[in-house]
Amino acid sequence: MSIFTIITILIILSAAFAFINTKFLKLPFTIGLMIIAIAFTAGITIIGSFNHYVLDEAKLLIESIDFETALLDVMLSFLLFAGALHTKLDALKRQKAPIAAFATMGVVISTFLVGTIMYGVFILFNHEINYIYCLLFGALISPTDPIAVLGILKDANAPKKLEIKIVGESLFNDGVGVVVFLVIFKIAQQGIGAIEPLDVGILFLEEVVGGIALGLIAGWLAFRVMKVIDHYETEVIITLALVMGISSLAHILHVSGPLAVVVAGILIGNMSPKIAWSDNTHNYVEKFWELIDVLLNAVLFVLIGLEIFVITISWEYLILGLLAIPAALIARYIALSGPIAIFDKRLDFIPKTNLIMTWGGIRGGISIALALSLEPQMERELFLTVTYVVVIFSIIAQGLTIGPLVKKVLSNKNLN
């Protein structure tokens, strides 16, 4: 299948599913699309039991899509920039210390907790597995997905100071999570002796610090260029070029593209409306990136729903996936406890912040993409299925209930 044909099919499906959700289900946009995609996949599977041609063509479509590349190398940068563009720097500054702790130490602690818990679960099921592979799973499932979080929190009506913690953490922790994943992946490939502590530090500096620096420089240059003109068409194109240019440069320089795009988006979104953009330009830039956000979110969550075609379905894998759900939630709760205890009184956290942030930490496409990047000997099929189960539960169950949970916990409290 040609790339154009694949994109056409995905856009048509996204439009059809969006219509069904808007007209009939009326669920939160991303959740509704994914539920319909899963139901569509189940329907194709049932039809395929009578007519193999339909099922074979559907599988061919999904197998021809490199989900890992499509998300991590193409869609992610646009989606992160669209989200970062609306993140207010003043609110982020006030919560910078806990957000930094959540996005770094929180991810590392959660990685080891999830890996250790799942290693014990595998032992109970008499499933022999290398501990390092369990840590790989911990690394890919620990970061919360900014795309899923941003989409779902729009409908949750969470207090602003809680929302900025969850969104801020999600925007930054995927870059840290990918670095942790890469380090453990290299150890799993080459053995523990292949990675020196100094190598880990250098990799962290290259990816994280390099990504932040690239975002600051590129964002500032784009801001300066837009400041000397007043032409909304050109300025919209400049923001698009900024995102694509950062993504390409990040690959060449071996720095974190997601972090660079987030930093550039926050810089542009906070400085340009006051200094570089006219009201007309500001309106067009915001509408353009809102449209990009909606379109790519629709395609992404339809893809997540359709990915069921390529996972291995077995009772053992499904049960292990169900057991991984509480493991991931418990690990996240414990990992957040330290930073929350440290900053609670100084920053006046709202009641039950840990509970809400644990339940509001949605896993999404990034986890699936990283699971797809595992090598066969790393129990790829097992962890892909387990990851899929956790992601589906996270998006549907947590996504649909985070709003009611916030209302229940914070009822009768004026915390906005």
Domain count across the chain: 2
161 is a domain residue: yes
Q: What burial letters (b/e) apply to 91-120, b meaning 16+ CB within 10 Å?
A: bbeebeebbbbbbbebbbbbbbbbbbbbbe
Instruction: State whether 251 and 344 are in the same domain.
Output: yes
Residue 415 has pLDDT above 50, yes or no: no
Distance CA 416, CA 319 (A): 40
356 is a domain residue: yes
**Distance (Å) of CA 43 to CA 30, 39, 309, 405:** 20, 6, 12, 32
Q: pLDDT (tens digit, 9 = 90+) per residue, 201-260?
A: 888 888 889 999 999 999 999 999 999 999 999 999 999 999 999 999 999 999 999 899
Q: pLDDT (tens digit, 9 = 90+) per residue, 348-367?
A: 788 888 999 999 899 989 99
81 is a domain residue: yes
C-alpha count within 13 angstroms, C-beta hemisphere, residue 123? 9
Residue 138 has pLDDT above 80, yes or no: yes
126 is a domain residue: yes
16 is a domain residue: yes
Q: pLDDT (tens digit, 9 = 90+) per residue, 244-266?
A: 999 999 999 999 998 999 999 99
416 is a domain residue: no
Amino acid at 341: A
Instruction: State whether 38 and 148 are in the same domain.
Output: no
Instruction: State whether 205 and 316 are in the same domain.
Output: yes
Q: What is the CATH number of the domain that holds 384?
A: 1.20.1530.20
Q: pLDDT (tens digit, 9 = 90+) per residue, 78-102?
A: 999 998 998 888 878 888 899 999 9
The pTM is what? Answer: 0.92
Give the chain's mean pLDDT: 90
125 is a domain residue: yes
Given pLDDT bands bounded at 50, 70 and 90, which one contains residue 414? low
Given pLDDT bands bounded at 50, 70 and 90, which one contains residue 295? very high
Instruction: State whether 134 and 220 are in the same domain.
Output: yes
SS3 state of residue 410: coil
Q: pLDDT (tens digit, 9 = 90+) per residue, 40-78?
A: 999 999 998 888 888 898 988 898 999 999 998 889 999
